[in-house]
Amino acid sequence: MQLILATRNRHKLAEVSALLGGAVRCLSIQDFPAAPEVEENAPTFAGNAAKKAVALATWLAGGANGEGRMQPEECLILADDSGLEVDALGGAPGVHSARFAALDSGQPGNSTDAANNAKLLRLLAGVPPERRTARFRCVLALTELNPRSALRAPRWFDGVCEGRLGFAPKGAHGFGYDPLFLPVGFDLTFAELGEAVKNRLSHRAQALTALKAWLEASGTAHRPPL
């Protein structure tokens, strides 16, 4: 079964590929350069994930050719929206996690990881350790695209990883807020713990574990092309 991930983030593609293993063949929007951009302006993670999954599936089903290279076979379209919710900030940055720093300037597009982390630390200056609780949240939207039939409504999978935020970035692995986030039970950040540990604990790992279980239970992962 072929799965197309609605992201241009190579880190997310690597995590999904590693966590799903050989169950599916993973591609991303990078393999479909003509795919349209989707504005992630929904107020919830689920809303943004659904927008991205449905937009990509609709584009592929609409006879994409040339750059699109859509093959006449069944495939899965997967989109995620995820982010960091900080209790001391009322749940921010939430759905704005990737563009947290850019919100200050009103500039479109995502911010750099360094800029986002710097803004977060600035807002949390003076907040004691016991009040620096936070969580990573991930929502996956999965739809099945069969060129011979209608687009199916998304199926949902989610995951949450509780933790707290440090006072300075630490570690050289991961991306996003990983250098600041210490998961419950650890005194090291995701960026220090490394990929193997993160892929057991993270919000995305939990959501993908549920997805993988559904794929195996439904037989979808082993279904031959039409």
Domain architecture of the chain: domains with CATH = 2-222 (3.90.950.10)
**If pLDDT is split at 50, 70 and 90, which confidence band does 68 have?**
very low
Q: Which residue has the higher pLDDT, 147 or 109?
A: 109
Q: Active-site residue 81, yes or no? A: yes
* Entry pTM: 0.85
How many Å apart are CA 208 and CA 82, to the nearest integer?
Answer: 13
| pLDDT the model gives residue 153 | 78
Of 31, 80, 81, 113, the catalytic one is 81
Q: Quick one: DSSP state of residue 77?
A: E
Pairwise CA distance, residues 130 & 126, whole Å: 12
Per-residue model confidence as pLDDT tens digits over 54-63: 999 888 877 5
pLDDT of residue 108: 76
Out of 32-46, 178-192, 193-207, 210-224, least confident range: 210-224
10-19: per-residue pLDDT in tens? 888 888 888 8
192 within 8 A of 28, measured Cβ to Cβ: no
| Tokens representing residue 63 in the block | 């006879």
For residue 65 the two structure tokens come to: 């050719």
